[in-house]
Amino acid sequence: MSAAFGTRLADAVAARGPLCVGIDPHAPLLAAWGLPDSPDGLARFSDAVVDALAGSVAVLKPQMAFYERHGSRGLAVLEEAVARAREAGALVLLDAKRGDIGSTMDAYADYLRPGHPLHVDAMTVSPFLGPGSLQPAVETARRQGGGLFVLARTSNPDAGTFQHAVVGGRSVAQCVVDTVGRWNAEDAASGPGSFGVVVGATLAELDVDLDGLGGPILAPGLGAQGGSVADLHRLFGSGRAVVPTVSRDVLAAGPDAVALRAAADRWAAELAR
Ligand SMILES: O=C(O)c1cc(=O)[nH]c(=O)n1[C@@H]1O[C@H](COP(=O)(O)O)[C@@H](O)[C@H]1O
């Protein structure tokens, strides 16, 4: 088994900085790159992003939906891209947002198993069936050195509709954060937590208490959704393991590899300031 994901993430961030770049090959972007909306276009897009960035950014986050919409050939492209990205030293966070009853969750968590054709370092999961439904994925992550990022306070404008709802005196979002904090506390002896939450950089204010999390925070919503590095400072301050993630704002610079790297470097430099 590889080292725990929390440790591998901390090492990657120390070596490369915290930036995560999302690989979101949606149809208008493929068109803007002069590529067909087909598995071939998808492969050329993915190769270009991986070649330009996998050697320098800490985390790459392919959005699975954009591969699944091309069927099995799209998934084959994703498998290839993930393997190449990991080989080049990037951690791969599969943006799958899966969540189901325990027995099915166990199957989804197979993406964290070495030897799986789509073996990734971590994946995003949805707690909508109840935080306990994610337990099989927690067990797999522990066994395989993988990580999970659980949706808590997402970046979309109406996210608060459900996430602010109060259950047992706490918001749903806080309930998620506390559950993930418990998973990390159970593993505290093995270093930085491998279980993270997703909190958007677009929030008007930080309305969850992250002090007991003990793990990383994936912060989407930068650039195209209006979030900025100033928002990250405003929401999270310093001293937290924040992994800011940007997709369109970097990808729009392609297909030229130098321009893609320059776009990622601009975010990295701003984050480092
Ligand atoms: O889990 C995510 O990554 C995620 C959570 C969230 O709250 N908001 C959010 O935008 N995302 C993902 O992050 C990416 C954001 O893309 P850009 O807005 O282009 O940077 C998309 O792939 C979204 O699916």
| Domain encompassing residue 36 | 5-272
Task: Say whether 61 is catalytic.
Answer: no
Cα–Cα nearest to 46, from 20, 84, 72: 84
Which residue, judged by its Cα, is nearest atom 4 of ligand 1? 220
**Pocket of ligand 1 contains residue 200 by CB under 6 Å:** yes
CB 238 within 8 A of CB 273: no
Index of the ligand 1 atom closest to the CA of residue 154: 7
Ligand 1 atom nearest to CA at 159: 7
What is the full per-residue pLDDT of the chain (273 aa) written as tens digits? 689 999 999 999 999 999 999 999 999 999 999 999 999 999 999 999 999 999 999 999 999 999 999 999 999 999 999 999 999 999 999 999 999 999 999 999 999 999 999 999 999 999 999 999 999 999 999 999 999 999 999 999 999 999 999 999 999 999 999 999 999 999 998 899 999 999 999 999 999 999 999 999 999 999 999 999 999 999 999 999 999 999 999 999 999 999 999 999 999 999 998
- pLDDT number for residue 211: 97
Q: Which of 69, 95, 149, 162 to mutate to test the pocket of ligand 1 (most atoms within 8 A of CB)?
A: 95
Q: Based on the structure, what is the number of domains in the chain?
A: 1
Smallest CA-to-CA distance from 110 within 130, 81, 71, 139 is with 139
* Residue 29 near residue 248, CB atoms below 8 Å: yes
pLDDT confidence of residue 1: 63
Over its C-alpha atoms, the chain yields an Rg (Å, rounded) of: 17
**176 CA distance to ligand 1 centroid (A)?**
18
Residue 60 to residue 259: CA distance in whole angstroms: 17
Angle, CA 139 vertex, CA 138 and CA 145 arms, to 5°? 85
What is the DSSP secondary-structure string of 67-116?
Answer: HHTTHHHHHHHHHHHHHHHHHTT-EEEEEEEE---HHHHHHHGGGGSTTS
pLDDT at 266: 98
Among residues 97, 119, 142, 153, the one annotated as catalytic is 97
Strand pairing report for 166-167 and 217-219: unpaired
What separation in Å is there between the alpha carbon of 62 and the centre of ligand 1?
10
Task: State which amino acid sits at residue 10.
Answer: A
Complex-level ipTM: 0.99
**61 CA to middle of ligand 1, Å?**
9
pLDDT per residue as tens digits for the range 166-214: 999 999 999 999 999 999 999 998 899 999 999 999 999 999 999 999 9
The CATH number of whichever domain residue 102 belongs to comes to: 3.20.20.70
